[in-house]
Structure 1
Amino acid sequence: MTNPPSFTPDPSRRRPSHREVRRTSRGSDDCRPLSGDEDERAPASDSSNGASERQWRISRGDDSRGRPLRQSIVPPDHRSGAAPEDASSPIVRGSDSAGSFPRENAQPRPAAMPPAYAPQARRAPSYRASTQYPDSHDYQGRGASQGVGGPSGSRWQSPRQQPGAAAPRTAESSHLRPGVTQAPRRRPKRSWRSVTAKVLLFFLVVLLAWVSFLLWDANTNLGRTTALSGAPDSPGTTYLLAGSDSRADGAVQDGFEGGERSDSIMLINVAPNGQAVAVSLPRDTLARIPDYGEDKLNASYAYGGSELLVKTVEALTGLTVDHYVQVGMGGVSSLVDAVGGVNLCYDADVDDAYSGLMWTAGCHDVDGKTALAFSRMRYSDPQGDIGRTNRQRQVISQVISQALSPSTLVNPAKTLTVERAGSSAFTVDNKSNVFDVAQLVLALRKASHNQLTGVPPIASLSYITDAGASAVLLQEQTAPAFFNKVRSGTLTPTDLNQIAP
C-alpha cells in the first residue's frame, strides 16, 4: 500500500465530508467501465498493487478484489483541462485493479462537487496608507464575489500585525463575519479640553441648583400683607420701603405701649430710562391722608396700616407704588449680625437714652444691636429726623455691600444665613416675590453708587400745623417739580437734600 501524494491545499477550500461521500456511494456497488480518455485522465497508480493516488484499499483476500472498499468521487480534473463526460452521472472508481463498473439501475443525481484546487490569480488586499484596516468598499466587493476571507479565500491580516502583538478580535467578539480577523482599535485619548468642559458643566449645574434652592427658600419665608392700592400705573417701577417700630419682635424693649408706626419711609424709583433714585421721606412730612385730612406722614400707618400708607405716599408724590416691602426693627438687627457686622461712621459723641446709643466720634465696626440704635437715634442729632434718614441709608448701604461681597457669596453657609435672615425680616405685598426684593436691593445699590439718594426739597423743618404740631414742609407742599424729574429719570444729585434755613 502506497502513501497518498503530499500536497498543500488552500486552507479556505473545504474537503467533502464523509456524509457527502457516503451519500454518493449508496445503492449498488456496480460500476461502469471508464472510457479510454477517462482512464488517461485518471491519476497514475502504483503498478505493484494497483492503488490509485486518489484511493487505496486494504486487501482482505481474493474475495474482496471484486468489490471496492470505498468509492470516491472523481472530480473534473482541471489540471488536465478535460471536461467531465456527464455532470448528471457521477463517476465512481473502485479499488479493484480490473477496472471500474457502472451501477445497475442507478438514478442520476447531482453530486456534491468539492471546490477546485486549481490555482487562481491573487491580488494583494487593499488598505489605506494611514490606517491598518482594509478599505471597506474593497473588502465588501471581494467578500461578495470570492467568499469570506478576501481573494482566493485567504484570510486578510493587517500588515502591521506582528508576532507577539495583541491578539486580534475574532468573529465571535466583533461584528465581522466568521473567519475574518481585525486588529484592535486604538482607544482615543481624552482631550484636556473635554475634561475641563465636563468639570465646568458639573459646577454650573451645582451652582444653578444652589441658586434655585436659595430663591425657593427665600420666597417661602417672606411675609405677606395687603398693601397696594390698585391705582393706575405710572412710568417706571416704584418701590416703597417702610420700617416699622413695632416692639412685637422683642428687638426693642423700652416700655412703649403705643400703636405701631412707620419710622422710616423710603421711595425707590427706577425710571423708564434706567435711572434709579432713593428718596427718603421724613416721617414728620406734612401730607394729606385720604379720609383723615392733613397730618404727619407716619400717622397714616397708625390710622390704616400699610394700605393707607401706600395711598398717602401716592397722593404726595404722584407715583404709583408697584411693590411694597416692610422690615421690622428685629429684622435690621438680624441682618447686620448675619453679614458679620457693618462699619458705620458718625462725627459726634452720642449718649442717647431714648435709642440706647453710646457712640464715640468716628467709624466703628458694630453688631446688629448697635446698628439698630444708630438708625433710630434722632433726639441727640442736631438735624433731627433728617439726620436720622441719612444714618438709616448708611446702614442699608453697608448691609447690601456686605451681603453681596465675594466673602459672602462664595461661602454657602454664610449665604444661607443671610438669605434666611433677610427673608424672615421682610414682609411684601401679595403680588411681590423674592425677585422683586432682589431688584429693590439692586436699585438701592445703583442709586447709592450714583449718589442719587437723599430727601426732597424742604421748605421748613419746623412748620406749625393748624393743630399746633411741628412738621416738615416740602417745597410747594408736595414738591411737584422734584417728583416730575424722578418720574422722567432726569434727576441730578444737586436736586436732592435742598433744605431751606
Structure 2
Amino acid sequence: MHHARPRPRRRRRVLLWSLIAVLLLTGTGAGYLYWRADRAADAIDRIPDALPELPADQQPKATGGQTFLLVGVDTRADVPTTGDDAEAPAWQTGASRSDTMMLLHLAADRKDATVVSLARDTWVDVPGHGKAKLNAAYSWGGPALAVRTVQDLTGVRVDHLAAIDWNGFRALTDAVGGVDITVPRDVPGRADAPAYRAGTHRMNGAEALAYVRERKGLPRGDLDRTKRQQNFLRALMTRVLSGDTFSSPSRMSGLLDAIGGVVSVDDKLTNRGLYDLAWSLRGLRGSHVNFMNAPFGGFDSVDGQSVVLLDRKRAAPLWQAIRDDDVAGYLEAHPPSDELGTTDPVR
C-alpha cells in the first residue's frame, strides 16, 4: 500500500509540538528562562544608524574575532519611536559627550577577550571637524561619527556598538547582590568622594557608581578613572559568571530585568545575534579578559584645553594584534606596564 509523504507544513507542526513537549518534559524552568531571555533581548534598545555608512575602500578590513565599541554615558538615551508614545531621540547634536570609550575585542575562538580604554580627552582627528578631544565626536555626530573616529584612529573595524549607561549599572550591580572591588592602597576622601581602606570591599549599586564616577581627586584624573571602570567591570563580570548568580532564580530574574535598562546596541544586532553572542561566550571566564589602557603618550594643553596624547608608536602593534586576532601574542611580546594598565594598581 502506498503511503503519501507528510506535507512540509505538517512536518513543521510536528517539529514545533515536539519542541514544546521536550520543554515540558524537562521542566518549566527552561521554557521560563528562554521566555525571560527573549523578553530581555526585546528590552535592549536598538540605536538606528549607529554604524557609519562608508564605501568599502574607506572601511578597515574585517578581521578575525568581533570588535565592539563600548560608549559610556551617564544616562542612556532611548531609541526614538513614532506616534503618541515617541521618546526623546537617541542623540542630539551637542546634547551630550561620551563619558567613556572602550574597544572590546572578542577572539574568534572566544577563549579570551580584550578591553582597551580610550581616554575621553585623547587628542584625535574627528572626520569633518579637525582636531578635537575624542568625546567630542559623539557630541557632534553621534554614534556613527564616534565609530568612524575610533576606526580612523586605530585601523580596527568596529562590528557593533553598545551604549552603556553607568547610572543603570547601579540596578545591575544590586541585581547580582553587589560586587567585590579590591582597592590596592588607602585612598583619602575628597569633597564628596568617599575614602577607601586598602582591601576588598563589597559595594552595592550606589557605592559602585560613586567609585567609577570619581575623577577629580585621582592623581592621573581620567586615566585613573578608566582603571576604576575596568576594575568594576572585572568585578561585575566575575559576579555574573559565578554560580551564585546562575543558581539563584531571584538574582537571575533581576539580572535579566536590569540588562535592558543598562545597554543599547546598534540596530544591526538582532535578538538572534545577541543569543548567538551570549552562547559563544558561555565558556569565557573573567580571568581570560585582558583590561588595558591605550598606550599613554603624555598630557598636553591645546588652545587652553587639557588633553591626553596617544603614544602612536607603541599603540601600532596593539591595533595590529587586534586586527590579526592575536592579542595573546601581543601581550607575550609586550609585557604589561603602568601605561598599558593590565596590571596597574587601581586607585
Find the aligned partners of 1:418 and 1:312 in 2 and give their Cα distance.
33
Work out the CA distance in 2 between the residues paired with 1:487 and 1:391.
27
Matching of residue 415 in structure 1 with residue 252 in structure 2: yes
Alignment of 1:254-333 (within 5 A): 259-272=95-108, 274=110, 275-333=112-170
Alpha-carbon distance between aligned partners in 1 of 2:39 and 2:136, rounded to the nearest angstrom = 34
Among 270, 288, 296, the alignment partner of 1:458 is 296
**Which of 166, 170, 187 is the matching residue for 1:349?**
187
Question: Unaligned stretches of 5+ in structure 1?
Answer: 1-199, 250-257
Aligned residue in 1 for 2:72: 243
Q: Separation in 1 of the partners of 2:148 and 2:314?
A: 14
The residue matched to 2:167 in structure 1 has which SS? helix
More strand by share: 2
TM value normalised by structure 1 = 0.53
Aligned to 1:400: 237
Alpha-carbon distance in 1 for matches of 2:166, 2:118: 18
Q: Which residue of 2 aligns with 1:234?
A: 62
CA distance, structure 2, for counterparts of residue 443 and residue 359 of structure 1: 34
Distance 1:435 1:393 in 2: 28
Show the counterpart of 1:212.
Answer: 34
Percent identity, aligned pairs only, is 30
The question of 1:221 aligning with 2:43 is answered yes
For 1:408-427, what per-residue CA distance to the aligned partner results, in whole angstroms no more than 9, with x for missing partners? 21222221111010122111
Quick one: distance in 2 between partners of 1:437 and 1:375?
27
Shift of 1:342: 1.0
Cα contact 1:357–1:377 (8 A) shared by 2: no
Q: Please identify which structure carries the higher helix content.
A: 2
Does 1 or 2 have the higher relative contact order (CA < 8 Å, sep 6+)?
2
Q: How far apart, in 2, do the equivalents of 1:395 and 1:445 lie?
A: 21
Aligned-CA RMSD value: 3.0
Name the residue aligned to 1:368.
205
Question: CA offsets, 1:280-303, max 9 Å, x none?
Answer: 111111111111111111111111
The number of residue pairs the alignment matches comes to 290
Matches within 5 A, 1:65-80: none
Q: Deviations over 1:456-498 (max 9, x none)?
A: 22221x1233x24222211237932220012111321635556
Aligned partner of 2:264 among 427, 432, 448: 427
Secondary structure of the corresponding residue to residue 357 of structure 1: coil
Over 3 Å counting, the alpha-carbon distance change for 1:269 and 1:400 in structure 2 is same
* Cα distance between partner residues in 1 of 2:283 and 2:69: 15
- Which residue does 2:228 correspond to in 1? 391
- Rg larger for: 1
Aligned partner letter, 1:431: K
Unaligned runs of 5+ in 2: 1-21, 79-93, 341-347
TM-score (norm 2): 0.74
